[in-house]
Amino acid sequence: MSDYQPREKAPDEAFCSSCGAIIKKEAEICPKCGVRQKTVFANRDINTNWLVLLLLSAFLGGIGVDRFYVGKIGTGILKLITFGGLGVWWLIDLIMIVCGKFTDSKGNIITIRN
Ligand SMILES: [Zn+2]
């Protein structure tokens, strides 16, 4: 019996986009081959689009989909079970988005520019 165990990758690990080695998901550069990981940036920041957010809020805001979209899972669930605060919360969020004052889970304002 050999000591070598081919291991599965853990939930916080990913495969290097260049050499295929198992590396940490947060790793920007593969320790094995030194290649910068392209997927890291896409995974790190929630890629929010103002227009998509506006449409989600207008049509699905009553069930909190707009908040799920920006990563506000907690208040998204709250919005879902209250049916968008019986419409009030849904309207407030929609106005905030239109005015460019809506923020994502990290506090970044989502405007038409991004
Ligand atoms: Zn590599």
Taking the centre of ligand 1 as the mean of its atom positions, its distance from the CA of residue 43, in whole angstroms, is 18
Closest CA to 71 of 35, 34, 105, 40: 105
Q: What percent of the chain stands above pLDDT 70?
A: 84
Q: What is the pLDDT of residue 111?
A: 86
Residues in the chain: 114
Rounded mean pLDDT, 7-14: 84
C-alpha distance from residue 4 to each of 1, 7, 16, 38 (Å): 9, 9, 21, 30
1 Cα–ligand 1 center, Å = 29
Q: What does the block give as tokens for 101?
A: 């004052």
- As a whole number, mean pLDDT of residues 2-9 equals 64
pLDDT per position as a tens digit, 61-97: 999 999 999 999 999 999 999 999 999 999 999 999 9
Mean pLDDT, the chain, whole residue set = 86
Residue that wins the pLDDT comparison between 112 and 14 = 14
- pLDDT at site 106: 85
Residues with CB under 5 A from ligand 1 (ion): 16, 18-19, 21, 30, 32-33
Checking if the pLDDT of 43 tops 90, the result is no
Ligand 1 geometric centre to CA of 33 (Å):
4
**Its pTM surpasses 0.75:** no
Tens-digit pLDDT profile for residues 21-38:
999 888 889 999 999 887
In sign, the C-alpha dihedral spanning 99, 59, 90, 79 is negative
